[in-house]
Amino acid sequence: MTSPENPAAADSGTTRLEAFSDGVFAIAITLLVLQIRLPDAHEIETRGGLGRTLLGLWPSYVGYVVSFMVAGIMWANHHNVIRLIARVDHGLIVWNLLLLLAISFTPFPTAVMAEHLPHAGWDRHVAVAFYCGSFTLTAFFYNLLWRHVARNRHLLRPHVTDAQVRAITRAYRPGTFLYGLATATAFFSVVAALALVFGLALFFILPRRGAHT
């Protein structure tokens, strides 16, 4: 993989890192649905039928959609970084593993958040802070991964310019701070914290001027 005379083998490092990471992202995102649970027959009756019960599960749907979008966006970003990389070293494997560790954790804080969102009280704040905190951790590991790449320029494809590297560094830096801000905000206002996370996802989703990919 390190021999320059065999480009096919050289690619295979990134290929398998991508395949493995894609797998983890895809599974973490798909496991989110398991956290949505239908109450039992007795509870459905208490809540006034299935229709109302399904509507009453809105916090689970909010959690599902927000986590799906955040993790999906992280996948898209991951994809944009990896395609600039020509070579995989030990550090990249380790940082990537730590990023995947944070991504895979997502279904748990999502479930905690969804369960406590409808009930007023301090625990609701804790649950949303825990939720935003897990995204902060993910964004943090994401930045460490990129920093490793930016500091080891020989890992990048030769055509990648310094300007591109700086542009990515600039684009990813606010992530940790903004998710961290949402985490802190959650202790004061649950709505404001979720609005911030949702806004960050929406900002990504909006159409962009210029070719993104």
The C-alpha atoms of residue 43 and residue 48 are separated, in whole angstroms, by: 9
**Segment lying near a second copy (by CB under 8 A), choices 42-50, 135-143, 168-176, 189-197:** 42-50
Torsional sign, CA 176, 181, 187, 189? negative
Restricting to residues 157-196, name those near a second copy by CB under 8 A.
Answer: 159
Do 32 and 103 form a contact (C-beta atoms < 8 A)? no
Residue 198 near a second copy by CB under 8 A: no
- Can residue 44 be called a binding residue for a second copy (CB under 8 A)? yes
CB of 209 to a second copy, least distance (A): 10
Q: C-beta of 166: minimal distance to a second copy in Å? A: 19
Q: With respect to a second copy, which residue has the nearer C-beta, 89 or 181?
A: 89
Give the integer Cα–Cα distance in Å for 65 and 36: 12
Q: Cβ closer to a second copy: 67 or 177?
A: 67
Closest among 117, 106, 112 to 24, alpha carbons compared: 106
> Rounded to the nearest 5°, which phi and psi values hold at 182?
-60, -40
Report the residue number, 19 or 177, with the smaller CB distance to a second copy: 19
CB nearer a second copy, residue 152 or residue 169: 152
How many other C-beta atoms can be found within 10 angstroms of the C-beta atom of residue 7?
A: 10
